[in-house]
């Protein structure tokens, strides 16, 4: 089926309308949370003014000072009359002037919203597995079933992708891809790895002998020594749009050589630029630069951070290996970024103040595969998968609870017992935080029963405390240069915003709606899990006060506000940072009064 036919089919059978209704409801919910809108009661429902229009809708008040707007309930009232609201662009145009959005920002955001709506139609039109089936799949295959970031509204904007690119490369298309490999002359590119993993060993582990021999033959035919080059894969989109035009001088000089395609097929994960090897699942995943703008940033690989990735891995895995609680009690899995190649573009490196995406163009990070880290009988899925609802309306979390036999409350306690202790221990004992949002945090389970946590994506998302903690005294300058040091309250945001607001608030909705577990009981369980962990380490009492996760309020992180009002779509020399707007009541504090089960 050609791409035109595929697109027209996806738009049919009411899917465009339904996708618009869901997107409008999400816009209202998340914009209200980020205080871009203000709502008040209106009869049995709620209303919010947006410019000259008024939107009325059904919604449920929830913790974290939010309203959860029901899809399909929204009506738009204006001078010309009243009608169901199913067009996210109409809502954007109503809102933009009052928010003070730049016209260019509004125009680009409109494109991202339409791309997201079209992608949602494709998802709805494709065959979809039932939630109970997903529980038994390899974790890399589950990734293709997801719907995207639950908080960011234009979560599949993917500026830079055309429709054919979407059909070929989007994770929800579930299309395995071969990877083209390049070779860069040693000295023109740089290789770093964990101890014991030199480039020759990496090549031998990641390529079949016949493929490696063929690649060596390509270089020898050019009169080159194969061992004088660094070999690495490149994303097909990046080759067409970035490497060929911008690195043509290196190709012409023979400093960059096309080796050919390797035989293994890879599936894109939710981040799009990270691909899992499905032909040989125990081989490493690869994280490749992809110069498209998706959600908040261009998806490149910054040279300095890329080269530091193995050192960050050694630092984190060293902590876990030496700590009996993390090693033996939690059995935490840290999926190491064990090797990296970076190929900076000489002109852009020399250009002071160049937009950051031009310093992230070519390279690769090899990340350990989860497959080799699971015990017999264990399965895994990203935490994001817990929020997935199948075509029949059954959430994956409900399928896991049923399979486990624990019941909703017991299953939630098992989940929190698997996920929170290692994250809390890293924070309290070492002053180190990950970003455990739904894509980075991976739940390991046995027959639906949560057993332990796996974490990935270190070099972009690990931060340190800026306090003079003795556990951080020995960190060298290389790590200090790439791992941000933040004050205690901001370190807490990696749990507050990334895990609690960014993931668990949606999980609490699903568990209340489908499993009957009340929202306050949910957050009371989270609070108890934090307190139970603290009770096991009384010697860290000062750290519990320093990193006060139970504080009554904390700064409200606003992911959508960042795009709408702060950074827009302008080129910047540095990656944007999350916006804040006022404070929000902490559900863990409010849950202190909840009835204990």
Do 437 and 297 share a structural domain? Answer: no
Structure tokens at 61: 């008040």
The mean pLDDT of 187-199, rounded to a whole number, is: 98
- What's the sign of the alpha-carbon dihedral 498, 283, 324, 464? negative
- Angle formed at CA 26 by CA 402 and CA 549, multiple of 5 degrees: 70
Do 183 and 68 share a structural domain? Answer: no
Band of the pLDDT at 595, cuts 50, 70, 90?
A: very low
Do 121 and 212 share a structural domain? Answer: no
Condensed to tens digits (0 to 9), the pLDDT of residues 320-356 reads 999 999 999 999 999 999 999 999 999 999 999 999 9
Which of 433, 564, 443, 529 has the alpha carbon at shortest distance from 490? 433
Do 488 and 405 share a structural domain? Answer: yes
Query: CA-CA distances (angstroms) from residue 155 to 135, 159, 186, 271, 414?
Result: 24, 11, 38, 11, 30
Q: Are 363 and 301 in contact (CB under 8 A)?
A: yes
Least confident segment among 2-6, 128-132, 299-303: 2-6
The mean pLDDT of 48-70, rounded to a whole number, is: 97
- As a whole number of angstroms, the distance between CA 335 and CA 284 comes to 10
Do 406 and 310 share a structural domain? Answer: no
- Judge whether residue 593 has pLDDT over 80: no
Pairing of strands 432-433, 297-299: unpaired
With H, G, I as helix, E, B as strand and everything else as coil, classify residue 332.
Answer: coil
Do 268 and 175 share a structural domain? Answer: yes
Q: Does some domain include residue 132? A: no
Do 390 and 351 share a structural domain? Answer: no
Q: How many CA atoms lie within 13 A of 159 on its CB side?
A: 15
Do 409 and 289 share a structural domain? Answer: no
- What's the sign of the alpha-carbon dihedral 563, 566, 569, 575? negative
Q: Which of 301, 335, 367 is the last residue of a domain?
A: 367
Strands (E), 387-462: 432-433, 441-446, 449-455
Structure tokens at 212: 């490696």
What CATH number should be reported for the domain holding residue 510?
1.10.510.40
- As a whole number of angstroms, the distance between CA 161 and CA 116 comes to 12
Burial 385-419 (b: 16+ CB within 10 A, else e): bbbbbbeeebbbbbbbbbbbebebbebbbbbbbbb
Pure H helices in 76-198: 88-99, 103-125, 131-134, 139-142, 163-169
Q: Are 299 and 283 in contact (CB under 8 A)?
A: no
Structure tokens at 121: 């139609």
**What DSSP string runs through 251-296?**
HHHTSEEEEEEEEEEEEE-TTSSEEEESSSTTSPEEE--EEEEETT
Do 568 and 520 share a structural domain? Answer: yes
- As a whole number of angstroms, the distance between CA 505 and CA 33 comes to 12
Do 549 and 413 share a structural domain? Answer: yes
Residues 6+ apart with CB under 8 A from 578: 296, 497, 557, 558, 559, 562
Q: Does some domain include residue 148? A: no
What CATH number should be reported for the domain holding residue 12?
3.30.310.280
Q: Does some domain include residue 135? A: no
pLDDT of residue 296: 87
Q: Does some domain include residue 156? A: no
Q: Which of 367, 394, 422 is the last residue of a domain?
A: 367
Condensed to tens digits (0 to 9), the pLDDT of residues 61-111 reads 999 999 999 999 999 999 989 999 999 999 999 999 999 999 999 999 999
- As a whole number of angstroms, the distance between CA 300 and CA 160 comes to 13
Condensed to tens digits (0 to 9), the pLDDT of residues 145-175 reads 999 999 999 999 999 999 999 999 999 999 9
Strands (E), 269-383: 274-277, 285-287, 290-294, 297-299, 333-334, 337-342, 363-367, 379-382
pLDDT of residue 460: 81
- As a whole number of angstroms, the distance between CA 61 and CA 470 comes to 44
Query: CA-CA distances (angstroms) from residue 260 to 188, 272, 280, 422, 573?
Result: 20, 22, 18, 42, 34
pLDDT of residue 577: 83
Q: Are 30 and 113 in contact (CB under 8 A)?
A: no
pLDDT of residue 217: 98
Structure tokens at 411: 């299953």
**Is the pTM for the entire model greater than 0.85?**
yes
Question: Whole-number mean pLDDT of the chain?
Answer: 96
Q: Are 216 and 226 in contact (CB under 8 A)?
A: yes
| Structural domain count of the chain | 3
The mean pLDDT of 489-509, rounded to a whole number, is: 97
Band of the pLDDT at 594, cuts 50, 70, 90?
A: low
Share of the chain above pLDDT 90, in %: 94
Pairing of strands 229-234, 177-185: antiparallel
Q: Does some domain include residue 138? A: no
Band of the pLDDT at 461, cuts 50, 70, 90?
A: confident
- Judge whether residue 370 has pLDDT over 90: yes
**Whose structure tokens read 């290692």?**
422
With H, G, I as helix, E, B as strand and everything else as coil, classify residue 170.
Answer: coil
Q: How far apart are the first and last CA of the chain?
A: 54
Instruction: Compute the radius of gyration of the chain from its Cα atoms.
Output: 24
- As a whole number of angstroms, the distance between CA 591 and CA 383 comes to 23
- Judge whether residue 596 has pLDDT over 70: no
Sheet holding 53-57, edge to edge: 39-42, 45-50, 53-57, 75-78, 81-84
Structure tokens at 234: 């490149």
Q: Are 190 and 341 in contact (CB under 8 A)?
A: yes
Pairing of strands 81-84, 75-78: antiparallel
For residue 53, list its beta bridge partners: 50
The mean pLDDT of 436-460, rounded to a whole number, is: 95
Structure tokens at 51: 């410019």
Q: Does some domain include residue 155? A: no
**What DSSP string runs through 490-551?**
HHHHHHIIIIIIIIIHHHHHHHHHHH---HHHHHHHHHHHHHHHHHT-GGGHHHHHHS-TT-
Q: Which of 101, 126, 151 is the last residue of a domain?
A: 126
Do 329 and 431 share a structural domain? Answer: no
Q: Does some domain include residue 140? A: no
Q: Does some domain include residue 82? A: yes
Helix axes of 103-125 and 3-11: crossing angle, nearest 10 degrees? 90
The mean pLDDT of 370-378, rounded to a whole number, is: 94
Neighbours of 8 (CB within 10 A): 9
Domain that holds residue 553: 385-593
pLDDT of residue 1: 65
**Whose structure tokens read 């899917």?**
15
Do 174 and 104 share a structural domain? Answer: no
């Amino acid at each position: 089926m050609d791409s035109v036919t595929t697109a027209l089919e996806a738009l049919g059978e009411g899917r465009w309308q339904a996708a618009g209704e869901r997107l409008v409801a999400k816009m209202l919910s998340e914009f209200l949370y980020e205080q871009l809108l203000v709502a008040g009661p209106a009869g049995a429902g709620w209303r919010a003014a947006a410019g000259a229009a008024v939107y009325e809708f059904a919604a449920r008040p929830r913790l974290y000072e939010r309203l959860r707007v029901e899809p399909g309930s929204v009506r738009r009232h204006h001078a010309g009359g009243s009608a169901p609201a199913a067009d996210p662009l109409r809502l954007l145009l109503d809102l933009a002037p009052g928010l003070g959005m730049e016209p260019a920002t509004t125009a680009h955001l409109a494109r991202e919203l339409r791309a997201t709506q079209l992608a949602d139609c494709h998802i709805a039109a494709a065959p979809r597995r039932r939630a109970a089936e997903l529980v038994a799949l390899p974790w890399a295959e589950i990734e293709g079933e997801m719907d995207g970031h639950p908080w960011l509204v234009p979560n599949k904007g993917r500026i830079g992708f055309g429709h054919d690119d979407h059909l070929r490369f989007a994770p929800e298309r579930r299309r395995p891809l071969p990877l083209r490999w390049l070779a860069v002359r040693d000295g023109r590119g740089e290789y770093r790895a964990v101890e014991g993993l030199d480039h020759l060993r990496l090549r031998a582990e990641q390529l079949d002998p016949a493929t490696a021999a063929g690649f060596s033959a390509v270089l020898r035919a050019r009169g080159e020594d194969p061992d004088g080059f660094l070999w690495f894969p490149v994303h097909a989109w990046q080759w067409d749009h970035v490497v060929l035009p911008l690195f043509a001088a290196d190709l012409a000089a023979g400093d960059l050589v096309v080796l050919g395609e390797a035989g293994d097929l890879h599936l894109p994960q939710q981040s799009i630029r990270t691909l899992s090897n499905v032909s040989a699942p125990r081989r490493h995943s690869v994280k490749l630069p992809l110069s498209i703008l998706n959600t908040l940033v261009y998806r490149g690989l910054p040279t300095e951070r890329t080269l530091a990735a193995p050192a960050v891995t050694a630092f984190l895995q060293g902590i876990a290996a030496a700590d009996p609680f993390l090693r033996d009690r939690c059995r935490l899995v840290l999926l190491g970024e064990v090797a990296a190649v970076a190929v900076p573009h000489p002109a852009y490196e020399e250009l002071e103040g160049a937009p950051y995406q031009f310093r992230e163009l070519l390279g690769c990070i090899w990340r350990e595969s989860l497959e080799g880290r699971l015990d017999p009988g264990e399965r895994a899925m990203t935490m994001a998968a817990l929020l997935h609802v199948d075509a029949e309306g059954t959430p994956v979390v409900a399928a896991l609870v049923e399979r486990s036999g624990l019941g909703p409350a017991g299953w939630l306690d098992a989940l929190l017992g698997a996920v929170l202790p290692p994250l809390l221990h890293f924070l309290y004992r070492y002053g180190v935080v990950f970003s455990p949002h739904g894509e980075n945090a991976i739940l390991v389970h046995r027959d639906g029963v949560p057993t332990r946590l796996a974490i990935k994506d270190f070099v972009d998302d690990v931060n340190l405390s800026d306090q003079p903690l003795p556990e951080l005294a020995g960190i060298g300058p290389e790590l200090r240069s790439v791992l941000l040091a933040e004050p205690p309250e901001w370190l807490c945001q990696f749990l507050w915003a990334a895990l609690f607001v960014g993931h668990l608030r949606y999980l609490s909705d699903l568990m209340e709606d489908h499993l009957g577990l009340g929202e306050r009981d949910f957050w009371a369980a989270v609070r108890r899990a934090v307190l139970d962990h603290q009770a096991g380490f009384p010697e860290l009492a000062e750290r519990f006060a320093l990193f006060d996760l139970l504080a009554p309020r904390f700064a409200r992180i606003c992911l959508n506000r960042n795009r709408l009002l702060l950074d827009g779509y302008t080129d910047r020399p540095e990656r944007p940072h999350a916006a804040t707007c006022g404070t929000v009541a902490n559900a863990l504090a409010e849950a202190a009064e909840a009835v204990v089960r």
